[in-house]
Structure 1
Amino acid sequence: MTRDVVARSAARAAAPGPRVAWLVGPALVAGVAYLDPGNVASNMTAGAGYGYLLVWVVVLANVMAWLIQYLSAKLGIVTGQSLPETLGRRIRNRWARRAYWLQAELVAMATDIAEVIGGAVALNLLFALPLVWGGVITGLVSVGVLMLQSKRGPRTFESVVIALVVVIAVGFTVGVFVAPPDPGGVLGGLVPRFQGTDSVLLAASILGATIMPHAIYAHSALARDRFAPHLPHEDLEAGRGIGTARLLRATRWDVTIAMAIAGTVNLCILLLAAANLQGVAGTETLEGAYAALRDGIGPVVATLFAVGLLASGLASTSVGAYAGAEIMHGLLHVRVPMLARRLVTLVPALAILALGVDPTLALVLSQVVLSFGIPFALIPLVRLTAQRAVLGPFRNRVITTVAGIAASVFLIALNGVLLGLLITGG
């Protein structure tokens, strides 16, 4: 790639006005992971069961998510490799690499369960479609969206997903304006505290739904696909400084926009439930919450909620499948046809739906599984982005590394407390 091309790329990154739009997209696509049906179930359950108690968890999770997603994007931009690719090259022991892939693959499957179930529930609410068929349709539509990525490139894929994000945002926030929450309750919810084992379980579920391992893997790949081709890779120290630095500044804006949208929507879901569903019988399920919203606020809000849930399932399952394919390729150096992979990963979700397991419970528990997968993605990410040998002059500053370590310690500690409470029945 010539220096003229690099200069034009850097100019696009720095230029104001419409050209800045060229830089926006990867974080918004990765941010769909923060708006998936698992988030909806966890936040609705938390608000309906505990009111404003866990508002602080949503806010804290979103702050940590900003840092984590930026580090993921930075790794992809600077190295030209995704996190799975980087780990696949650095983990020399074949069995260790396979073990790491297995846990990452299980996390991706847990993600898929949440997303397919959420889409199935939405189709059932909107069209009375049986859950199993709703799951099949959700999976097949995700294949179509992914085909756009492979045939039309990342920009078309991003455009479709961003359009779904708009639908999600409208569907989940309208109710808060129609039936607003209590400001005093919201402020009180910013004080960190728990109320027993179930509230800790929900906190872990919210964190697992917000800081999702597959989003970390996916964002590094999305940033790589979009930006790495516009930068030379021969000279990390000298040949890429100006363009890379400007791209990273623009990426911080991309991540900020994405996390602001995701955080606002997640908070609105919890506040909607806290203000309108607390103490209402049957609201521990998505179906019950939909019925309560319809009866309490009106059919328009309830329908928008269901439409938002459907868009959430369709968008997030597409991004989840993209992440799963990247995990397998990066760690095992194997590419499986997307249709074959999609069919295999659909099986657990369809089995849960066919067996009649409560969809909302399955969603919440899947997010707990995700929370246990966070350290396996987060610790390597923080470590790699702190090393000069990996990122050269773009390695983390000390304060960034300290913040990443603090987030890792907090998440691991919360999971440890959760595990102890579940074992002791506390």
Structure 2
Amino acid sequence: MSKPYNESLGNVHGSVTTENKTGWKKILAFIGPAYLVSVGYMDPGNWATDIAGGSAFGYKLIWVLFASNLIALLLQSLSARLGIVRGLDLAQASKITYPRFVNFCLYILAQIAIIACDLAEIIGMAIGLNLLFHLPLIWGVSLTITDTLLMLFLMNKGMRKLESFIISMIFIVGLSFLIEMFIVTPDVKEVALGFIPGNLTGSALYVAIGIIGATVMPHNLYLHSSLVQTRQITRTDQGIKTAIKFNLFDTVIALNLAFLVNAAILILAASAFFKNGYFQIAEIQDAYKLLEHIFGKTAPVLFAIALIAAGQSSTITGTLAGQIIMEGHINLRVEPWLRRLLTRILAIVPAMFTIIYSGEDGLGNLIILSQVVLSLQLGFAVIPLIHFTSDRKKMGNFAISLKVKIVAWASAILIVGLNAKLVYEQINTWAKASPSTAFWMYVLVIPVVIGIALLLLYVFLRPLLFKHADVPTYIPHGIAGEIDNLDAIVYHTIGVSIDFSKNDTNSIRHAIMQGGKKAHYILIHVVETAGARYYGDQAMDHETQSDVDNLNRYVEALVKLGYKAEAKIGYGMAATSITEIVNNRKIDFIVMGSHGHKALKDLIFGTTVNKVRHMVNIPVLVVKAQV
């Protein structure tokens, strides 16, 4: 039996050591994951909802922000606990708990949430570029697609470098708003009164749910349960207890910093706009212009710089969350840059349409709508998380206590209840708009809402009804199969991928170790020139002829040493050509040299070996490049 999941974020899993460290070094070793998560709590989506809330209702919604932060602290700590104790991220735990179809539905909903989050980041960065450099929004939105390269570069540098970049972005955002607080001088007494809860109806409810969706973000729960696994810990009760304690410390600090940033944005909007009679500033651009009008040039420049920093850091954590959700729920693994590109394109399309058909004024409403979509997805992440961390059979002594369970379920009920109220009010509003609108409500919208409600009910009931079901439970590395045959495997035809680098000799040596003088060796080189792509074996340009001559030299050298060898040239795409040669020549083992590229070159060269591995049905030996 094979394990039902791969390691979460396998390329950085367990990459940060925490052992043999004491004092501050021990604390610093664990600090990082919550800061990556906290980025999602201060992205451009938060800005839009905080500005809308502050300008329309003054300081009255600070309590919503504070309550959201407390809920976030609780849920993120549960997420970290799940990852540390069970060695599973939230998506993986869902995969081994719910049926395949339900997991597919959960994946689709989670992916919609990530696209909604990405949409806010795209708009925020485009607005920041527009405010600072007067770049048209349509061009700013288009340029955001290039951040895929930055993400790829940072991922290749390792988890610590990625965390350092994110923390530096958070520092820029925090410093910018700290300075702006001195500029706007808020009313401290009014701010304190804003922490007293009040009734929420109409537009206040809509903005409040947007604040909750922007603060307690569903993909952050998936992300945190995975990021804590980048730390190497001792898998003993004491080691796990220590990891939980330090990660809680990390979470409290990071999320409280995020709360201070969010509170600063809301207070800024209340002090600058609500107090001056500007009650409907939902647009980030208007906030920038009014800041300049009221306080001069310094405040808006800081505002725009912080906006770009927040958007850029959030897009990286969104990519990581997308990887976790895709691999966890449906066990599909693709290149990070490709997944990032697809997600970004899906988010760019609605932003482009909004700019083209509604102009710049529609972007603010689109950001708030994206945050409401995030909030609607929350129940599908929160309910399974509480179930998983409450399960004493699988969590052992680290299952959450009854008190924590009660508070967690109360938070879930609050979130789901507010969302249900919003959906009900919105459907009523749409139905009353016109008879034709009411018809489409009953035909399309209401059935979808009922379907989603039934799915949420199933997600809640399944772990309760099958609480003691024993299939499939957590298997860290699968179950070892019986070993009953260890006879040597004889390879008759061995392929060797040649690229005329210093790695060739090493690849040929490893091939000979597998087959000796009895095997037949086929040296493969693929010509990837434009001519080769179009004309195939008809191409005999200078590069092709040179490659043929070089390959024949290798063959002649092997024949002189007593080996049976021949040359085979492929044309066009490397992975496709190698696969065709393997199949046509009935090669039963292939040796390929790894390229050793990093960052940008990975984008260009880094997928050939992986593609070949997935396209052929024979063993592939990857030989590390010599340095």
Q: Do the aligned partners of 1:146 and 1:318 also contact (CA within 8 Å) in 2?
A: no
Q: Taking structure 1 as reference, are residues 95 and 282 closer, same or farther at Cα in structure 2, changes over 3 Å only? A: closer
Q: Do the aligned partners of 1:33 and 1:319 also contact (CA within 8 Å) in 2?
A: yes
Equivalent residue in structure 1 for 2:115, among 88, 96, 109: 109
Q: Do the aligned partners of 1:10 and 1:246 also contact (CA within 8 Å) in 2?
A: no
Residue in 2 that maps onto 1:177:
182
- More relative contact order, 1 or 2 (CA 8 Å, 6+ apart): 1
Secondary structure of the corresponding residue to residue 90 of structure 1: coil
- What's the offset of the Cα at 1:200? 0.3
- What's the offset of the Cα at 1:326? 0.9
Q: Whole-Å Cα distance in 1 between the matches of residues 148 and 171 of structure 2?
A: 17
Q: Whole-Å Cα distance in 2 between the matches of residues 282 and 241 of structure 1?
A: 53
- Give matches, 1:108-187, under 5 Å: 108-149=114-155, 151-187=156-192
- What's the offset of the Cα at 1:282? 6.8
Q: Do the aligned partners of 2:18 and 2:26 also contact (CA within 8 Å) in 1?
A: no
- Give matches, 1:271-286, under 5 Å: 271-278=267-274, 279-280=277-278, 283-286=281-284
Question: Under a length normalisation based on structure 2, what TM-score does the superposition of the two structures give?
Answer: 0.63
Q: Do the aligned partners of 1:51 and 1:274 also contact (CA within 8 Å) in 2?
A: yes
Q: Could you tell me which amino acid in structure 2 is paired with residue 107 of structure 1?
A: A
Equivalent residue in structure 1 for 2:97, among 90, 93, 97: 90
**2:228 corresponds to 1:207:** no
**2:428 corresponds to 1:424:** yes
- Give matches, 1:341-352, under 5 Å: 341-352=339-350
Q: Taking structure 1 as reference, are residues 369 and 136 closer, same or farther at Cα in structure 2, changes over 3 Å only? A: same
Q: CA deviation digits over 1:15-65, x for unaligned, max 9?
A: 322442111000011110101100000001110111111111000000111
- Give matches, 1:9-408, under 5 Å: 9=18, 12=21, 15-91=22-98, 93-149=99-155, 151-194=156-199, 196-224=201-229, 226-227=230-231, 229-232=232-235, 240-278=236-274, 279-280=277-278, 283-355=281-353, 356=355, 357=358, 358-408=362-412
Q: Do the aligned partners of 1:142 and 1:315 also contact (CA within 8 Å) in 2?
A: no
Secondary structure of the corresponding residue to residue 364 of structure 2: helix
Question: Under a length normalisation based on structure 1, what TM-score does the superposition of the two structures give?
Answer: 0.91
Q: Could you tell me which amino acid in structure 1 is paired with residue 35 of structure 2?
A: L
Q: Whole-Å Cα distance in 2 between the matches of residues 95 and 173 of structure 1?
A: 48
Q: Do the aligned partners of 1:118 and 1:310 also contact (CA within 8 Å) in 2?
A: yes
Q: Do the aligned partners of 1:146 and 1:322 also contact (CA within 8 Å) in 2?
A: no
Q: Whole-Å Cα distance in 2 between the matches of residues 155 and 280 of structure 1?
A: 43
Q: Taking structure 1 as reference, are residues 146 and 380 closer, same or farther at Cα in structure 2, changes over 3 Å only? A: farther
- What's the offset of the Cα at 1:142? 4.6
Q: Whole-Å Cα distance in 1 between the matches of residues 152 and 367 of structure 2?
A: 23
Q: Taking structure 1 as reference, are residues 311 and 155 closer, same or farther at Cα in structure 2, changes over 3 Å only? A: same
- What's the offset of the Cα at 1:10? 5.5
- What's the offset of the Cα at 1:424? 2.7
Q: Whole-Å Cα distance in 2 between the matches of residues 132 and 344 of structure 1?
A: 19
Q: Whole-Å Cα distance in 2 between the matches of residues 323 and 51 of structure 1?
A: 34
- What's the offset of the Cα at 1:213? 0.2
Greater strand percent: which structure?
2
**Highest Rg: 1 or 2?**
2
Q: Whole-Å Cα distance in 2 between the matches of residues 409 and 258 of structure 1?
A: 25
- What's the offset of the Cα at 1:146? 4.2
Q: Whole-Å Cα distance in 1 between the matches of residues 73 and 280 of structure 2?
A: 34
Unaligned runs of 5+ in 2: 1-13, 433-627
- What's the offset of the Cα at 1:186? 1.4
Q: Do the aligned partners of 2:111 and 2:322 also contact (CA within 8 Å) in 1?
A: yes
Q: Could you tell me which amino acid in structure 2 is paired with residue 115 of structure 1?
A: E
- What's the offset of the Cα at 1:172? 2.8
| More off after superposition, 339-348 vs 260-269 | 339-348
Q: CA deviation digits over 1:298-323, x for unaligned, max 9?
A: 21111111111101100001101110
- Across the aligned residues of Structure 1 and Structure 2, the Cα RMSD in angstroms comes to 1.8
Q: Could you tell me which amino acid in structure 2 is paired with residue 280 of structure 1?
A: Y
- What's the offset of the Cα at 1:196? 3.7
Q: Whole-Å Cα distance in 2 between the matches of residues 18 and 295 of structure 1?
A: 47
Size of the aligned set, in residue pairs, is: 407
Q: Whole-Å Cα distance in 1 between the matches of residues 61 and 332 of structure 2?
A: 41
Q: Taking structure 1 as reference, are residues 203 and 170 closer, same or farther at Cα in structure 2, changes over 3 Å only? A: same
| More off after superposition, 414-423 vs 33-42 | 414-423
Greater helix percent: which structure?
1
Residue in 2 that maps onto 1:237:
none
Q: Do the aligned partners of 2:233 and 2:243 also contact (CA within 8 Å) in 1?
A: no
Q: CA deviation digits over 1:218-237, x for unaligned, max 9?
A: 1111111x22x4334xxxxx
- What's the offset of the Cα at 1:351? 2.0
Secondary structure of the corresponding residue to residue 96 of structure 2: helix
- What's the offset of the Cα at 1:348? 3.4
Q: Do the aligned partners of 1:10 and 1:242 also contact (CA within 8 Å) in 2?
A: no
Q: CA deviation digits over 1:122-174, x for unaligned, max 9?
A: 1111111122332233332254134422x222111111111111111122332
- What's the offset of the Cα at 1:392? 1.6
Q: Whole-Å Cα distance in 2 between the matches of residues 9 and 188 of structure 1?
A: 43
Q: Do the aligned partners of 1:280 and 1:292 also contact (CA within 8 Å) in 2?
A: no
Q: Do the aligned partners of 2:55 and 2:279 also contact (CA within 8 Å) in 1?
A: no
Q: Could you tell me which amino acid in structure 2 is paired with residue 319 of structure 1?
A: T
Q: Do the aligned partners of 1:26 and 1:158 also contact (CA within 8 Å) in 2?
A: yes
Residue in 1 that maps onto 2:487:
none
Q: Taking structure 1 as reference, are residues 413 and 282 closer, same or farther at Cα in structure 2, changes over 3 Å only? A: closer
- What's the offset of the Cα at 1:9? 4.1
Q: Whole-Å Cα distance in 1 between the matches of residues 365 and 119 of structure 2?
A: 12
Q: Whole-Å Cα distance in 1 between the matches of residues 408 and 280 of structure 2?
A: 39
Q: CA deviation digits over 1:330-350, x for unaligned, max 9?
A: 011111212222222122332
Q: CA deviation digits over 1:220-269, x for unaligned, max 9?
A: 11111x22x4334xxxxxxx111111111111110011111000000010
- What's the offset of the Cα at 1:189? 1.6
Q: Whole-Å Cα distance in 1 between the matches of residues 351 and 112 of structure 2?
A: 18
